[in-house]
Amino acid sequence: MPDHPVIDADGHVLEGPEFWLEHLPADVAARAFALEPADGSPGSVDRMHLGGLAVDLDIAIGDGCTPGGLGAGNATGRGFEDIHPGAFAPGPRLELMDEMGIDASVLYPSLLLMSQMFDDGVRAEIVDAYQRWIQDFCAADPVRLRWVTPVPRVDVDEAVEVVRRAAERGAAGAFVSAAPTPGNDRLLGSDEEDPILDALVAQELPLAVHVTDGWNSTFAMRRLLPNRLHWDVAAGPIDVMHGMLYVMTSGMLDRFPALRVAFLEGNVGWIPYWLHKIGQSYEHLSSRFPAPAQRPLDQFRARCWVSGETDEPSLPAVARELGPSRCLWATDFPHFEASWKPVEELTDRDDLDETTKRAMLCDGPAAFYGFDVSSLPTHA
């Protein structure tokens, strides 16, 4: 094991049926969550109703929330009851972290990744209930378990209140969707949302732009990516590419020089090209869009972070281009893309030196979230 703390910069919990039924008023819970089994007709699939959003489950929920659960021979039709209990409960999660060699985990939701799409009448109560639930979850070991709040950007005043409550409850950060807001298509980085960023800076909370399920985002990706394979290949990177484009071209980083921003779960190989292309397009269109004082690549190196997959072949080149501490290591547990041996996936690579591995496993996550590394335990 490494001789320094290992920080999972983006792990997940799963909001199972008990969360919805036990943490929301009965009338809200009835509108917020329901499972509808397939009716047996050709092509019918199970459906989940979340906050007024109907989600067609083309995969079994338990297979999708088990590392490797959609690999050949591994998809067994698992239900909620078959998912590793570390997705729902802190005790089993801490035991699993010990087995994996993880000293601290920063936890994001799973179903509430889509909270920006929830109906106005239930969205605020669901997010508030999630904050209370995950706060209790992490209270089992507040040094090793940290949490990040979803911040739906639909209603700016509501979002500011979400940030305020999250800070009071001890959140380590906040995340948003890169998708345009439902109803008015407002883009991330719009100065109309500056009060949200003001609140984050005032509370010293970093901001993550996290992928959502592309089949339910307002990018309407399902029309372009009609199956799960298409979604897995393209939706995450496209989601994060849009988010990075909006952040880097909106003046948001200039308006909020103290704000730390990360782009999560969209892979990394495309990033040098994307930052170069943004800078190049500013040059080509400079009569209409004056370039910022600092190049997009330099802005990123100074203010931004990114996470990808530990087995990406382009990871060493991206780390050299951006700086290794700008590349966050993350497990994505318990989702199907995750691994049961995530630390080894990185530490066993022979194309990364030990300084780079430490930067990804420890220094980068600590810098983004503002953790004091000396306060963290270590399995060394």
pLDDT reported for residue 223: 77
Looking at the chain, the whole-number percentage of residues with pLDDT higher than 90 is: 80
Residue predicted with more confidence, 223 or 74: 74
Over residues 183-205, the mean pLDDT reads: 96
pLDDT reported for residue 58: 83
Residue 144 inside a domain? The answer is yes
Residue 57 inside a domain? The answer is no
pLDDT reported for residue 78: 93
pLDDT reported for residue 336: 95
Query: Per-residue confidence at 380, pLDDT binned at 50, 70, 90?
Result: low
- Residue 264, domain extent: 7-14+85-371
Average pLDDT score, the chain: 93
pLDDT reported for residue 219: 67
Residue 59 inside a domain? The answer is no
Residue 274 inside a domain? The answer is yes
Give residue for tokens 């088990």. 66
Q: Which residues pair with 294 in a beta bridge?
A: none
Over residues 122-134, the mean pLDDT reads: 97
CATH number for the domain spanning 191: value is 3.20.20.140
Residue 248 inside a domain? The answer is yes
Residues sharing a CB contact under 8 Å with residue 238, sequence separation 6 or more, in sequence order: 214, 219, 221
Residue 188 inside a domain? The answer is yes
Q: What angle do CA 230, 235, 239 make, to 5 degrees?
A: 170
Q: What are the helix (H) ranges across the chain?
A: 17-22, 26-32, 61-64, 90-100, 120-138, 156-168, 194-202, 221-224, 228-230, 236-249, 252-255, 271-284, 296-303, 315-322, 342-347, 354-358, 364-369
Burial 312-328 (b: 16+ CB within 10 A, else e): eeebbebbebbbbbbbb
pTM (two decimals): 0.96
pLDDT in tens, 278-307: 999 999 999 999 888 899 999 999 999 999
DSSP-assigned letter for residue 181: P
pLDDT reported for residue 215: 55
Residue 148 inside a domain? The answer is yes
Over residues 213-238, the mean pLDDT reads: 76
Is pLDDT at 218 greater than 70 in this prediction? no
pLDDT in tens, 161-187: 999 999 999 999 999 999 899 888 999
CA distances (Å), 26 to each of 23, 34, 283, 323, in order?
Answer: 9, 12, 56, 49
Query: Per-residue confidence at 55, pLDDT binned at 50, 70, 90?
Result: confident
* Domains contained in the chain, number: 1
pLDDT reported for residue 214: 57
pLDDT reported for residue 379: 66
Residue 70 inside a domain? The answer is no
Query: Per-residue confidence at 212, pLDDT binned at 50, 70, 90?
Result: confident
Query: Per-residue confidence at 308, pLDDT binned at 50, 70, 90?
Result: confident
